[in-house]
Amino acid sequence: MWHVKLAGLENELDVAATGWGRFVVVECKSGDPGGQETLNKLQALRQRVGLFARMCFVSSLPEKEIPVSFRDRAREYGIRDIITRESLRTIAEILTETRG
């Protein structure tokens, strides 16, 4: 599903998927990753949908253009994957792989 609205939550989910007993939420951005605002949105969603949901960020930017500070903060917020231009073709494999 995409552009999902949850009752009681201001932000929408760009992509929400379930499979193999997992719930995945994907925030998508083209261009500027949105900095702290994007990370705050993902953190709020994570608290709402549960700590076991897999939170991912997808950007059309090349990996080298995602600021290190954004990557570090994303990791602190429990965002499991940052998928960039180079890895968009393998997004299905990335989102379905199992790792700790």
Beta bridge mates, 82: 57
52's tokens: 């076991």
57's tokens: 């960020």
Single pTM value for the model: 0.80
Look-up of token digits 């939420």: 25
Instruction: Give yes or no for a contact between 85 and 59, defined as CB atoms under 8 angstroms apart.
Output: yes
Please check the confidence at residue 99 and state whether its pLDDT lies above 60. no
Domains identified in the chain and CATH numbers:
2-96 (3.40.1350.10)
Band of residue 7 on the pLDDT scale cut at 50, 70, 90: low
Which pLDDT belongs to residue 5?
Answer: 67
Which pLDDT belongs to residue 3?
Answer: 60
Of 33, 42, 28, 32, nearest in space to 75 by CA = 42
Among 4-13, 16-25, 28-37, the range scoring the smallest mean pLDDT is 4-13
Amino acid in position 68:
V
90's tokens: 């393998």
Which pLDDT belongs to residue 47?
Answer: 79
